[in-house]
Structure 1
């Protein structure tokens, strides 16, 4: 154990925890804000990408493909370090929110679109037979069923979003990776600092992934009924 932690004792590790906790709070806040913005954005894009208005459909396709094709780190650097050259300066938190929400919206739009398309066509036909409007059919029939199908994948992606917030150390956001880097730079104990940070991520992501697997099993069992 002593060799594993490269001479770092538990008292030293405990002294790092408040700093790492402060960073983790930033990660959790950023994850919540990103999902709160990105998932509704993904729903909007999932709908507009099927629009009959050609200009709107092409614009949505462009935004989705850029959001999926460009690495999240590139988006973060673009908003934080690229936009200032055009006169628009954003804080690291604002840049992180915009960059990650765009990426999240792009990926979740495909997840939600797949869920919507998984709803049997007969559901729409039955709604028309009941004289429901297209909007009522969508919000009362198609959307609830499609969102339920997409839920396990959305929850799994939420775990990836939380992990992805660690990229924000590259734009000077004081999240947990930035705090671990600061600890390593001041104590020269990078191994222990990063190992502890990885353990914190694992302690959150592993139970979350197991929960997602359980929900996926429940959804699959419900769909077989």
Structure 2
């Protein structure tokens, strides 16, 4: 056991660099993807067929295509069209598109969960459609959707492990590189898994606690 801890200490500086890169990709993809999801959710709810249709196409492609395919498309596919992105930018764009597509449905479900009485009350006090969205439906809908959005954010941190396929030196890529050079695959992958768990496990418990807390104060 002490020998494994010694190995972990020798690998930790390199793995921390990949860990930081994984967190950066996660933060940027979520920071772009969730606002994109909000816009898509609003577009899907619009009456204009062209806007609603375009948003639905984006959502269905983003949800239907695996994240790995999106990563490969932006990194390896776009150069065929004359547009070359770095592995970091490809990872952020691909995961942001995936986040936007999935969170649009989460947010739309949150909007649908707003009690109809709240919408009627907005009309009674004279709010137009835009103001009703801004002051009534969006705030309450996002509150309902918040636990699911945070849960999806945890999944996106885990999804950064796919970025090793596009030569991004994130945590799993560096762990794999160490394993291939030392043949100590089990210890290094165990350490990488623990580093993911260090954030994902407490975050999962926090999301569950938040969900219970919001459930007690749900608007009915």
Aligned residues: 220
In structure 1, the gaps of 5 or more residues are: 3-7
How far did 1:224 drift? 6.7
Other-structure match for 1:176: 171
Tell me, in whole angstroms, the C-alpha distance in 1 between the residues paired with 2:23 and 2:178: 20
Other-structure match for 1:40: 35
Tell me, in whole angstroms, the C-alpha distance in 1 between the residues paired with 2:53 and 2:126: 31
Other-structure match for 2:188: 193
Q: TM-score, normalised by structure 2?
A: 0.97
Other-structure match for 2:206: 211
How far did 1:132 drift? 1.2
**Contact in 1 for aligned 2:106/2:145 (Cα 8 Å):** yes
How far did 1:9 drift? 3.3
Matches within 5 A, 1:1-225: 1=1, 8-223=3-218
Tell me, in whole angstroms, the C-alpha distance in 2 between the residues paired with 1:79 and 1:202: 28
Q: TM-score, normalised by structure 1?
A: 0.95
Runs of 4+ in 1 over 4 A off after TM superposition: none
In structure 2, the gaps of 5 or more residues are: none
Tell me, in whole angstroms, the C-alpha distance in 1 between the residues paired with 2:152 and 2:24: 16
How far did 1:197 drift? 0.5
How far did 1:188 drift? 1.2
Q: Deviations over 1:50-108 (max 9, x none)?
A: 11111111111100000000000000000000111111111001111111000000000
